[in-house]
Amino acid sequence: MPSVILDMDPGIDDAAAIAVAVNHTDLDVKLITTVAGNVSVDKTTKNTLKLLSFFNKDIPVAMGAKAPLKKEFVDASAIHGSSGMPGYDFPEPQKKPIDLAAVEAIHQVIAQTDEKITLIATGSYTNIAEFIQQYPNDLDQVEQLILMGGSISGGNCSSVAEFNVFTDPDAAKIVFEAPIEKTMIGLDVTLKALITPATLNTIKDMGKSGDMLYKIIAAYEDIHAGGKPMHDVNTILYALEPELIVTKEMNIDVATDGPAIGATVADIQNRWHQPGTHNAKVGVDIDAEKFNQWFIEQVARMPQ
């Protein structure tokens, strides 16, 4: 059972990813850290606590970065609503985040856990970059880093940049240069793995969890022909069943200024790196029908 730390910015697709992760018997979620991204970090933290209360899960939550390392913070409330998680009337959470900040909490969990940790980051990578800088010796205890973000075929914040990387490109650059195994699950996968109207209609009647997910996904303004992308859920799928996502080894560089800021540039012609080297595995394809079937199976695992 992999031990995992989730670093997130709920956000509707983050909420769906949390719902899958905390209810799957093959994942041991040690900690959830929050970051500013889809909405402010105060709201992403509150949304995380609401979800854990909904599922009656006792998992520590640590609040993280309120803003990117250098860039001005701009949220995605136009897509995720002003609260970040509209559509369902969650009660106020009774628990609060722990006293440790996100980076310190990640370090503590790694120090106290015998086995290696898988880090899954689905918001901007500010917390992860600060962790890498402050605790480089901890990287030996990181099994892998699974990132939702980036694209090698075009962006959703600009012609080249995906939102998570665009939000904090300086953090993303630090992360991609770090000496740890990492997999980038970006728009090349997530814009294929659309939750279809048929899947939404199916989960609608799958108990309280299905009803909750149906309502928040219905409120999600990231709309494409054929359905809605649950971007962050793909990282949980990869952690559990990596064979369902096709990956290729690549060298990824991150643009941190200019009109291409936030771009994840794949050196597919080896013009800037030695042939045979890579710093990431990059998701390039997924079977959308299998993804939808898998998602329905995950909702069936949740409290009914």
Dump the DSSP string for the chain. Answer: --EEEEEE--SHHHHHHHHHHHT-TT-EEEEEEE-SSSS-HHHHHHHHHHHHHHTT----EEE--SS-SSSPP---HHHH-SSSS-SS-PPPPS----SS-HHHHHHHHHHH-SS-EEEEE-S-SHHHHHHHHH-GGGGGGEEEEEEE---SS--SSSSSB-HHHHH-HHHHHHHHHSSS-EEEE-HHHHTTSEEPHHHHHHHTTSHHHHHHHHHHHHT----BTTBEE-TTHHHHHHHH-GGGEEEEEE-EEE--SSTTTTBEEE-TT-SSS-TT--SEEEEEEE-HHHHHHHHHHHHHHS--
Kindly name the residue from 224, 231, 273, 278 that is annotated as catalytic: 231
Give the type of residue at 55. F
231 is catalytic: yes
Residues classed as catalytic: 231
